[in-house]
Amino acid sequence: MKRRMVICTYSIVVLASLIFGFEPGVEMGKNLLTFTIHMMKVLPFAFILIGLFDVWVPRKTIEEKLGKEAGIKAHLTAIALAAPLAGGLYVSLPAAALLYEKGASLDVVLTFLGASTLVRIPMMIFEASFMGIKFTIVRLAVSLPLVILSSFVLSKLIGEA
């Protein structure tokens, strides 16, 4: 019920803004339209790939490579899996949920999520072209160990490690 109320209120505000020329409301409507178009370009393909991953990669493989017994190699594998992802966290979160359902340990899933925001290949190329390759390497050398460490700590706090 609350969700419908929010959607109705939003729609009324945007419609009234269009009628009365209230610029912030018109901008809200334009932003929603732009975001929706962007999501429709990215999400269907991402969900198809996640679905194929779900079907093609057996649970046993995920448990062996990313499970509790895999050690630091699992974290490096999670970082490598996160690097080519496009689409930001709205693609990474469903992928992380699938990894967890298939038997990846929580700390590896948290590393995957952290790495997906840090090591996206297009972002690193863009960063290196503006800030320099040395900056990019230093940023990765500092941030990736911290992501792995924080994933261990968070999984212990949550109750799985």
Tokens of 79: 């970082």
Region 56-67: mean pLDDT is: 91
Burial (CB count within 10 angstroms: exposed 0-12, middle 13-18, buried 19+), residue 124 = middle
Mean pLDDT, rounded, of the chain: 90
pLDDT value at residue 142: 96
Query: What percent of the chain is predicted at pLDDT more than 90?
Result: 67
Tokens of 42: 């990215």
Q: Which residue is listed with tokens 């800030």?
A: 131
Region 45-60: mean pLDDT is: 89
Tokens of 132: 């320099």
User: Which of the four pLDDT bands, split at 50, 70 and 90, describes residue 160?
Assistant: low
pLDDT at 12 over 90: yes
pTM: 0.79
pLDDT at 37 over 50: yes
Region 48-66: mean pLDDT is: 90
Is residue 122 within 8 A of residue 86, CB to CB? The reply is yes
Q: What pLDDT, in 10s, does the model give residues 84-124? A: 887 778 889 999 999 999 999 999 999 999 999 999 888 89
Q: Which residue is listed with tokens 């009365």?
A: 20
Number of H helices, E strands in the chain: 8, 0
pLDDT at 128 over 90: yes
